[in-house]
Amino acid sequence: MAVLSSALAFTTIQPVAAQSAFPDKTITIVVPYSAGGSNDRFARLVAGGLSKELDVPVVVDNRPGASGVTGSMQVARAAPDGYTLLVVSSSMTTNEAVRPREDFNPVKNLTPVAMLAKGPFIVAVNNEFPAKTPQEFVELIKANPGKFNYASSGIGSSNQFATELLQMLAGLESVHVPYKGMAQATTDLIGGQTEILIASGPSLLPHIRGERARAIGVTSLNESAIAPDLVPISSVVPGYEFELWWGVFAPAGLPADIQELLNTKINAVINAPEMRQTFLNDGAEAAPTSAEDFGKRVADDIDRWKDLAKRQNITVN
């Protein structure tokens, strides 16, 4: 009987002893876009800091395709153990508003972990565009319905939604020219093929600082730290506000203790003074928040953009 008792004790203890505390191996952050964009840049910034916080390697894996859905679905299908994460922007919510899929839903298939950064868009025009202030910009487009083109990184992109929201609130009409990514949209703005582009600070500030394009204003309700010299468009279009965010997700079913640990560590990384300044230099503000609040923001944004898509007839066809 003593021998049996010892054997039972061993079998009871063995599984507990075999478990390892999270994390004990490499964590992979999937970026569902090509290298070089803001998602990739911020993922790599956070990966370095998170690696130090958790004392394990953290690597970035770019998986572009289908407007970010390919890489996002890869994460959704991964084991919910904290070793596979996703860094994506709020473009995921605008994309969901016009391209809902039966096999992927951000709210159902992903666990919110942490918001990284946020920031307004910049309203930019090519250097030949006559208007130089928000007032002139609105008056010129309103006086010439359908004459000017606005670029975006694709149908359902946050750029399109930011522009359509402005058009709805200000009573403007311009022609949408969708591109397959921000790089070509920016190139054609600079080259004069399109007149208007509303996009993030990381996408536009280098070109504005280099005087290859001109900023009209920002999409925040008030002055923004990313470009304190720019006037909010809301000064002439009351209530106009559009804010982009970047965040970290894990597969649905992530244990609450791992979610909390990752949230705490990521917040520590982005809250460091040097990291806050780095984000600011890149055109965004560090945005530490709880996983719960981040999840609510995601769900609310999807509902908001679905409503705007109906009002402005934003469709993939």
pLDDT tens digits, one per residue of 27-48:
999 999 888 888 999 999 999 9
CA distance 8 to 217: 71
N-to-C CA span, the chain: 74
Provide the total of helices (H) and of strands (E) in the chain, helices listed first. Answer: 12, 10
Q: Write down the pTM of the prediction.
A: 0.86
Q: Quick count: other Cβ atoms within 10 Å of Cβ 241?
A: 18
Task: Copy the structure tokens of residue 248.
Answer: 């970290």
Tell me what percent of the residues of the chain surpass a pLDDT of 90: 81
Compute the distance between CA of residue 210 and CA of residue 85 in angstroms, rounded to an integer: 35
Domains 22-119+244-312 and 120-235 share a fold: yes
CATH class of the region 22-119+244-312: alpha beta
- Taking only the tens of pLDDT, the chain with its 317 residues reads 444 444 444 444 444 444 579 999 999 999 998 888 889 999 999 999 999 999 999 999 999 888 788 999 999 999 999 999 999 999 999 999 998 888 899 999 999 999 999 999 999 999 999 999 999 999 999 999 999 999 998 888 899 999 999 999 999 999 999 998 888 999 999 999 999 999 998 889 999 999 999 999 999 999 999 999 999 999 999 999 999 999 999 999 999 999 999 999 999 999 999 999 999 988 899 999 999 999 999 999 999 999 999 999 998 86
Write down the pLDDT at residue 100: 86
Closest by alpha carbon to 250, among 242, 241, 259? 259
| The pair of three-digit structure tokens given for residue 142, joined into one six-digit string | 């309103």
pLDDT at res. 185: 93
Q: Which CATH superfamily is domain 120-235 in?
A: Periplasmic binding protein-like II (3.40.190.10)
Domain ranges (residues) in the chain: 22-119+244-312, 120-235
Question: Is the omega angle on the peptide bond into residue 255 within 30 degrees of 0, that is, cis?
Answer: no
